[in-house]
Amino acid sequence: MAKENFVRVDGLRVRYFEHGSGPAAVLLHGASLGSSADVWVDNLPALAGHGLRVIAFDQPGFGLSDDPEDHSVAYRTRFVLAFMDAMRLEQAHLVGHSQSGRIAVSLALAHPERVAKIVVLGTGSLLPPLPGGKNPDSGEGEEGGATEPTLEETRKLLEENLFDRTLVTPTAVQTRHRMSAGKNFRAFLARKQARTGEGKKESTPLWRRLPEVPLPMRLIYGRQDRAAEERSALAKQLYPAIDLHLIDRCKHLIQWDAAEEFAALSGSFLAG
């Protein structure tokens, strides 16, 4: 069982889980309301079984980690390197789910010396948009309402992100709800405000920069997630050499819906 630990990073108390030994792989959870390192806990033993030191932490403003003053994505991106410094990791693999896939790719482009390989998991904004179609990327950091959710609303949000709804157990809902309330809900509202304030669009969309990533990268999507199948096909047309995998019977929480496939695809790739 992964042990819960705490470390001081940039003046913040940060919770993390760690399992296994070997080259480090840092797992980055998504940014929707209720996200935390808990989404990875059941995946850690299988990934560690590939000879990896697997570390999952609550990003600032999530889970049991302290809230930062800066709630921007840019700060959370810089924070990954600060966390690595605190853990004395010169280099690590990065696994980024949802919005954090963008964080992993951004770090690979800006600081390739700190990143060994990356796995992108369900990051819609890293797929090319469909011509004239609806391209639902809004789940990357905006899933959640204007008021603190009820337990039932938390359950429904989890169900929307899973193909196998039997995984939405009372324990899973309670954990997600705990990470959606109080200071975590206030941080969620602050993140939405920060995204509004960031305003300007990228001059070049990050999906267009995928061929520039200077290190090994694997992208994994759920076939039933947010137009992922059509957009993945378009990505393969544009970038035939891209290492992209679609998993059937799988929606946005790939690491839950397809835990074995995720561990096999990610573990073999990172340890290989």
pLDDT digits (tens, 9 = 90+) for 147-178: 999 999 999 999 999 999 999 999 999 999 99
CATH code (residue 94): 3.40.50.1820
64 lies in some domain? yes
pTM above 0.85, yes or no: yes
Check: CB of residue 119 under 8 Å from CB of residue 215: no
| In a domain? residue 156 | yes
pLDDT tens digits along 12-63: 999 999 999 999 999 999 999 999 999 999 999 999 999 999 999 999 999 9
Q: How many domains does the chain have?
A: 1
3-class secondary-structure state, position 219: strand
50 assigned to some structural domain: yes
pLDDT in tens, 83-127: 999 999 999 999 999 999 999 999 999 999 999 999 999 999 999
Q: Has residue 134 been placed in a domain?
A: no
Closest CA to 62 of 87, 40, 91: 40
Q: Which domain range does residue 263 map to? A: 3-126+140-271
pLDDT at 227: 87
Per-residue pLDDT reduced to its tens digit, 230-256? 999 999 999 999 999 999 999 999 999
Residue 135 lies in a domain: no
Alpha helices in the chain (DSSP H): 44-48, 73-86, 99-110, 139-142, 151-160, 170-178, 183-198, 228-238, 254-257, 259-271
The whole-number pLDDT of residue 203 equals 79
Asked if 159 contacts 131 with a C-beta cutoff of 8 angstroms, the reply is no
Task: Kindly report the average pLDDT of the chain as a whole number.
Answer: 94
What angle separates helix 183-198 from helix 73-86, to the nearest 10 degrees? 120
Give the pLDDT score at 3.
79
Is 133 a domain residue?
Answer: no
Tokens found for residue 164: 């196998």
Asked whether residue 65 is assigned to any structural domain, the reply reads yes
132 domain-assigned: no
